[in-house]
Amino acid sequence: MEYTKEYTVKDEHIDVQGIVDGLYYPFYMEYCRHDYIKEVLGFDIEEEARRGVNMVLSQYTINFLRSLKKGDSFTVSCSLMSDKDGLPKIHFKQAIMLNGKVTTKAILSGTCVPAAGGRPFLPESIIEKVKAAPVFEG
C-alpha cells in the first residue's frame, strides 16, 4: 500500500541558490514515514519509546533528481518492503513528487531495538504487516 502526504516547502529550508537545501529532503520523508508507521503499521514511535522500544534507521540511499523551490507544494510517498534475507529489518520506499515528476527517491531501512540495549527485532504487529509486503531486493 502506498501512503502519501502533501507538504509545502518551508522558507527556512531554502539555501542561497534559491532551492531546498539537500539536508531537508530526508526530513520531509521522515514526516511522511512517521505518519505511515503510526497510521498504517499501528506503531506509535513516541509511545513505544516510552515503553523502551526504539525504531531506528540503519541505512538509507537517496537520489536527488530535481530541486524543490520556495513555495512548491509536493507529495511524499511511503510504502513498506520486507527484507529478502528474512532479517528483522523493514525497508521503506519513498519518493518526493512535484507536478507528477519524481524529484527525490530513497530506500530507508530500519529495525527496532530495546532502549536498554540488545538485539534488533520487529514487533509481532509489524511482522504480520511485513509478510504481505513486497520483498526489497537491494
Please report, in tens digits, the pLDDT of each residue of the chain (138 residues total).
Answer: 799 999 999 999 999 999 999 999 999 999 999 999 999 999 999 999 999 999 999 999 999 999 999 999 999 999 999 999 999 999 999 999 999 999 999 999 999 999 999 999 999 999 999 999 999 998
pLDDT score at 72 = 97
Query: Options 3.10.129.10, 3.40.50.2300, 3.30.70.2190, 1.10.10.10; which CATH number does 3-136 get?
Result: 3.10.129.10
Q: How far from chain centre, in Å, is Cα 87? A: 18
pLDDT score at 1 = 75
Q: How far from chain centre, in Å, is Cα 62? A: 11
Q: Going by C-beta distance under 8 Å and a sequence separation of 6 or more, which residues neighbour residue 4?
A: 32, 75, 76, 77, 78
Three-class SS of residue 135?
A: strand
As a whole number of angstroms, the longest Cα–Cα distance in the chain is: 46
pLDDT score at 138 = 82
pLDDT score at 87 = 96
CB 110 within 8 A of CB 89: yes
pLDDT score at 20 = 97
CB 91 within 8 A of CB 136: yes
pLDDT score at 129 = 93
